[in-house]
Amino acid sequence: MNPDAVYERIGALGFRRWYERQLVESHLWFASCFVAMILVAAGLELLTLENGVADFAFDAALIAGGCALGWVSWRRYVRQMVLAEAIGEQASCAACRHYGFRCLAVERGRLRACCPKCGNQWLLEDPFEGADS
């Protein structure tokens, strides 16, 4: 996930709406991971050579497709949840405890946040630091 694109999106939507969407999107990925598990289970259940090679190939493709979908869905689910958690942890104003912030700018790869209630400013720790991709 590109940090600039994420910060741009937070700036456009506002933190709270961005956070809400992150949770909704990541849970949709989680649901698709569950669908993938059903595809794999169905493929394994149907897998037999009794009905011919074409049928066997279809069932094997169902298993392979389910595994691929499951892997991609799980990765996206985890990545979005970790990002939402990392930014959400830093969303409270240290001065007045208000939850949520407005984006002011991106400075050296970090987001400068501003409290909409008291005007306090702080830099968010880089949630992408140490990310594998």
Binding site for Zn ion (CB under 5 A): 93, 95-96, 98, 115, 117-118, 120
Q: How far is the CB of 114 from Zn ion (least distance, A)?
A: 9
Closest to Zn ion by CB, 40 vs 115, is 115
Q: How far is the CB of 87 from Zn ion (least distance, A)?
A: 17
Closest to Zn ion by CB, 10 vs 81, is 10
Q: How far is the CB of 122 from Zn ion (least distance, A)?
A: 9
Closest to Zn ion by CB, 3 vs 116, is 116
Q: Could you please report the per-residue DSSP string of 50-114?
A: TT-HHHHHHHHHHHHHHHHHHHHHHHHHHHHHHHHHHHHTT-B-TTT--B--EEEEEETTEEEEE
Q: How many Å apart are CA 28 and CA 33, to the nearest integer?
A: 9
Q: How far is the CB of 14 from Zn ion (least distance, A)?
A: 15
Closest to Zn ion by CB, 98 vs 112, is 98
Q: How many Å apart are CA 54 and CA 100, to the nearest integer?
A: 55
